[in-house]
Amino acid sequence: MTNYVIDWEKYETAFEDEKVVLMLKKLTREAFLLIIPDLEKVNEAKENKSNHTKSFKAGLEMQGTSKKILEHHMIWKEGFTINGKMPTVEDLCEYSMFSTLIIDIMGELIRMSTMSGAEIKN
């Protein structure tokens, strides 16, 4: 019998060549429902590559929605500081300069929260 553990998992990434260590928790159904409309907008903007403004706007909207999700699914452990302090979710989601980091984190949360074909068969 399989025992699914839904708990905090360590995730290491980099931002501007600096190591960042986070603890992430799998997304809930509610969190997925929050982010899906933004993912659809981002995918639509990617398909229409000639409209960079639309793509940028979609990314910023997703960054705002991510704040609601990351408050419950991310803990900052190690990495850069902002004004000498550990970044908060609000810091990361409010400033567009961190958009690539937010996209990275959200991508990992979605990946770790979705069962692969192999996991579904087991």
Please write the tens of the pLDDT for every residue from 39-63. 888 888 777 766 677 778 888 888 9
Total structural domains in the chain?
A: 1
Asked, for residue 70, whether it belongs to a domain, the answer is yes
Asked, for residue 107, whether it belongs to a domain, the answer is yes
Q: Rounded CA gap, 87 and 48, in Å?
A: 33
| Amino acid in the structure at residue 116 | S
Reply yes or no on whether the pLDDT at 104 is more than 60. Answer: yes
Q: Rounded CA gap, 30 and 53, in Å?
A: 29
Say what the pLDDT of residue 43 is. Answer: 80
Asked, for residue 3, whether it belongs to a domain, the answer is no
For residue 43, give both structure tokens: 């995918």
Q: Rounded CA gap, 77 and 8, in Å?
A: 12
Asked, for residue 81, whether it belongs to a domain, the answer is yes
Asked, for residue 121, whether it belongs to a domain, the answer is no
β partners of residue 25: 8
pLDDT in tens, 64-79: 999 999 999 999 999 9
Name the pTM for this structure.
0.85
Asked, for residue 62, whether it belongs to a domain, the answer is yes
Reply yes or no on whether the pLDDT at 20 is more than 80. Answer: yes
Asked, for residue 119, whether it belongs to a domain, the answer is no
Mean pLDDT of 1-14: 92
Asked, for residue 1, whether it belongs to a domain, the answer is no
Domain region containing 102: 9-113
